[in-house]
């Protein structure tokens, strides 16, 4: 089934550890995004990439980094995890042609930092 695959689906992590959340899409969408979702705060944009080789900062980028080496993959790295990064992380993609701007989301990665 075409779409976005995120891994891991769930992870418990000790504070200070490095963690990479993986995201792969097979829709050949140009733009990709990482959001975090917290109760009462909704979805907040962490980083985005409009096309392979480019990235940009969203609303809450501190403590996170991304890379976009090719069209399909957009990993999110926490260099040194802290408890405030406990959240559900969603990767999304969007084709940049057309006018709908619809985002397609993965199923999420649930991260707990202790």
Partner 1 sequence: QKEVEQDPGPLSVPEGAIVSLNCTYSNSAFQYFMWYRQYSRKGPELLMYTYSSGNKEDGRFTAQVDKSSKYISLFIRDSQPSDSATYLCAMSDLSYGKLTFGQGTILTVHP
Q: Answer yes or no whether residue 48 interacts with partner 1 by CB under 8 A.
A: yes
Contact set for partner 1, span 52-111 (CB under 8 A): 58, 90, 92, 99-103, 105-108
Q: Which run of H or E residues covers position 48?
A: strand 42-49
Nearer to partner 1 by Cβ, of 5 and 20: the residue is 5
Question: Residue 50 CB, nearest distance to partner 1 (Å)?
Answer: 7
Q: What is the dihedral of CA 34, 42, 113, 47, to 10 degrees?
A: 20
Angstrom distance (rounded) from CA 40 to CA 33 = 21
The count of chain residues that interact with partner 1, using the rule CB under 8 A, is: 24
Question: Residue 16 CB, nearest distance to partner 1 (Å)?
Answer: 28
Which residue ranges make up the site for partner 1 (CB under 8 A)? 4, 31, 33, 35, 40-45, 48, 50, 58, 90, 92, 99-103, 105-108
């Amino acid at each position: 089934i075409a779409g976005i695959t995120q891994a891991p689906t769930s992870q418990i992590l000790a504070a200070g550890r490095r963690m990479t959340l993986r995201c792969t899409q097979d829709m050949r969408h140009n733009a990709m995004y990482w959001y975090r979702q917290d109760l009462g705060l909704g979805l907040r944009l962490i980083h985005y990439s409009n096309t392979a080789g480019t990235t940009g900062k969203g609303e809450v980028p501190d403590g996170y980094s991304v890379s976009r080496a090719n069209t399909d993959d957009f990993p999110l790295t926490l260099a040194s995890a802290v408890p405030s990064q406990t959240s559900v992380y969603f990767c999304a993609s969007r084709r940049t042609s057309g006018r709908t701007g619809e985002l397609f989301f993965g199923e999420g990665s649930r991260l707990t930092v202790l």
